[in-house]
Amino acid sequence: MARGTKRSLEGKNVVITGGGGGLGAALGREFGFAGANVALLDIDYEAAVLAADKVERGTATAVECDVTDFDSCRSAIGLAEERLGPSDVLVNNAGLSHRSAFAETDIKVIRRIMDINFWGSVYCTKIMLPTITERRGAIVVISSTAGYAPLLGRTGYAASKHALHGFFATLRTELPGTVDVMIAAPSFIDTKLRHHTLDGDGEITDHPQARVGKMASPEDVAERIVWGVERRRSTIVLGSVGVFSRYLNALAPHIYERMMTRSLGSELEH
């Protein structure tokens, strides 16, 4: 499986977690445009059905799945493969964030974030790895700028994304020449997720979100991720803010932390 060889997605079967809305739904449409069949897994089954209806090419199916439950993941993936056939690509997209200082955050919130963002990805990868290895497919994990740099007011979220980086970068070293493992790290995306983050008590917060730079559309991010899968990329950092943050944090972390804290300080003013 040469790295210089472009991967064709025509007729391939793709499983996307968190596929009912936002980036997950956009990924379903974009993989469909590339000729793939897609299974959109989401705890919100009705949202997944609506998203599947908007996939214009190939076959799209919706499957209810709670990624925090290993048995639910196994059942959902089994149902997806009954409908579409063996899977070639897994996109670990399901995610949740919080916005609260750690001192004011109930530990159950941190655990919830880790269960969805990290363990959900580990569960689905564990279940699907034998099939994807046999088919010499690809695994994608949707990380974030917070996967390689601190992010004020999001200790649990940053921890989950750092964990994803460590897990999947290491997994890549275990699968040379058999499975492509790609980490995609966007910065701020204009999706409903930003309006459904948790506060320190685990409730949905309506506090205005601070951000840096222009938010990317889910369609643009999805297009780049599919591009990365086709070209067998190992890592893609999306957006100028993401690229700048990655290098500044690596070269001068103290400067990055000061700039980030100043830009996002309003996150803790409530």
Q: Which of 189, 167, 171, 185 is nearest to 236 (CA)?
A: 185
For residue 83, the surrounding DSSP H or E stretch is helix 70-84
pLDDT score of 145: 85
pLDDT score of 248: 79
CA angle 36, 24, 154 (to 5 degrees): 145
pTM: 0.89
Whether the pLDDT of residue 88 is over 90: the answer is yes
Mean pLDDT of the chain: 88
Scan for tokens 């040469």, then name that residue: 2
Q: Which of 31, 40, 42 is nearest to 95 (CA)?
A: 42
pLDDT level of residue 170 (50, 70, 90 thresholds): very high
Residue-wise pLDDT tens digits, 206-229? 655 544 556 678 899 999 999 999
* 205-to-98, 112, 181, 183, 262 alpha-carbon distances in Å: 8, 15, 34, 28, 21
Of 45, 123, 148, 157, catalytic: 157
DSSP state of 147: G
Mean pLDDT of 175-191: 86
Domain boundaries, the chain: 13-200+214-268
For residue 247, indicate whether it is catalytic.
no
Measured CA to CA, the distance from residue 73 to residue 79 in angstroms comes to: 10
Measured CA to CA, the distance from residue 128 to residue 146 in angstroms comes to: 26
Fold of the domain built from segment(s) 13-200+214-268:
Rossmann fold (3.40.50)
